[in-house]
Amino acid sequence: MKFTIEYLDTASSTQDVVRQRLEADPSMQEGYVVMAKKQTRGYGRHGRTWESNEGNLYFSILLKPDTKQQNKIGLLALGTGLAVFYTLKPLMEQQDTHIKWPNDILVEGKKLSGILIESLLNKNNMPHAFIVGIGINIKSSPIKEATCLNDLSKKHHSSEEILDQFLKNFKDLYAQWNAGEFDKITAGYRACCIPKGQEISVKLPHKTHEGHYYDIDDHGNLILEKEDGSLASITSGDVYLCD
């Protein structure tokens, strides 16, 4: 994959810009990246506001994978989180760093980055492209439950530096995903995710499950060990670590 990067000072949301570029040119090749210094209407999963002050990294990538891979989009989400982990972990000291399912990076329990994957549907209501949006706190953390890279590493890092290293890591993991080498992604993910047995709660639209992190399955779903010892497969939800 070759990347083409568009740099913007300000965007409503880099997700919106990629979507607009694709609407204007449906033949646009995958690998188109939009990076903005700040966003005025940045958002994350479930439409939640993503505070986007200047100094942090905000970007989105256009993907057009083969249709045969699209039922494994959950593993692409995990692989993207793994690419962020591989990018950030070497820059920090010895802090406790893990991926929280599906792809948030946590350092000492505080959020360092987040990922949003949105699908674009064709006339037959089938996905024909995906936009992967990533936010990484480099200079500042917008809320007290978050942290930022420059504080953790005690060094200054630029958005351009982090983006460049991420794209190198993502290119390799995306190639694995496209080649169907899913076992490599899941093995890497298991090595970097929160420890097995970690007490968690999983908030769904109409209920909340409590239990312990057990594993992921072959599709990237979360396997939760419930209080009665039974296992539940979670395809979507918000995971919270319990003290």
pLDDT for 1 beyond 80: yes
Output 215 or 122, whichever has higher pLDDT: 215
Identify which of 165, 180, 163 has the alpha carbon closest to the alpha carbon of residue 75: 180
Which of 20-29, 54-63, 140-149 has the lowest average pLDDT?
140-149
Percent of the chain whose predicted confidence (pLDDT) is above 70? 96
Residue 66 reports pLDDT greater than 80:
yes
Give 3-36 pLDDT, tens digit per residue.
999 999 999 999 999 999 999 999 999 999 999 9
Q: Is the pLDDT of residue 134 over 90?
A: yes
Q: Secondary structure of 14-29 in the HEC alphabet?
A: HHHHHHHHHHHCCCCC
Return the sign of the alpha-carbon dihedral for residues 148, 149, 154, 156: negative
CATH code for the part of the protein at 4-192: 3.30.930.10
CB 85 within 8 A of CB 102: no
**Two tokens, residue 131:** 């936009």
Q: How far apart are CA 168 and CA 146, in angstroms?
A: 26
Would you place residue 126 in the very low, low, confident or very high pLDDT band (cuts 50, 70, 90)? confident
Distance (Å, whole) CA 41 – CA 29: 26
Could you give the CA distance from residue 145 to residue 134 in angstroms, rounded to a whole number? Answer: 18
Please count the other Cβ atoms lying within 10 Å of the Cβ belonging to residue 118: 15
Give the pLDDT confidence score for residue 142 in this predicted structure. Answer: 78
pLDDT band at 124 (very low <50, low <70, confident <90, very high): confident
- 212 Cβ neighbours under 8 A, 6+ residues apart: 196, 197, 198, 199, 200, 224, 225
Look up tokens 């699209």; give the residue. Answer: 70
Q: Which residue has the higher pLDDT, 68 or 218?
A: 218
Distance from first CA to last CA of the chain, Å, rounded? 42
pLDDT of residue 76: 95
- The predicted-structure confidence for 68-104, as pLDDT tens digits, reads as follows 777 889 999 999 999 999 999 999 877 899 999 999 9
pLDDT at 54 over 90: no
pLDDT for residue 44? 66
- 157-164 long-range Cβ contacts below 8 angstroms, 24+ apart: 157/91, 159/35, 159/37, 159/55, 159/56, 159/57, 162/57, 162/87, 162/88, 162/136, 162/138, 163/5, 163/33, 163/35, 163/57, 163/59
DSSP 8-state class, residue 108: T
Backbone angles phi, psi at 43, to 5 degrees: -145, 155
Q: Are 85 and 91 in contact (CB under 8 A)?
A: no
For the chain, residues classed under CATH 2.30.30.100 are 199-241
Class of domain 199-241: mainly beta
**Amino acid 50: pLDDT:** 67
Report, as an integer, the average pLDDT of 196-214: 94
Residue 137 confidence (pLDDT): 95
CATH code 3.30.930.10 region(s) in the chain? 4-192
At 63 the pLDDT is 97
E strand or H helix at 164, and its extent? Answer: helix 159-178
238 Cβ contact partners less than 8 Å away, ≥ 6 residues apart:
45, 46, 202, 203
Q: Is the pLDDT of residue 131 over 90?
A: yes
- Could you please report the per-residue DSSP string of 112-163? EEEEEEEEEE-TTS-EEEEEEEEEE-SS--SSTTB--HHHHHSS---HHHHH
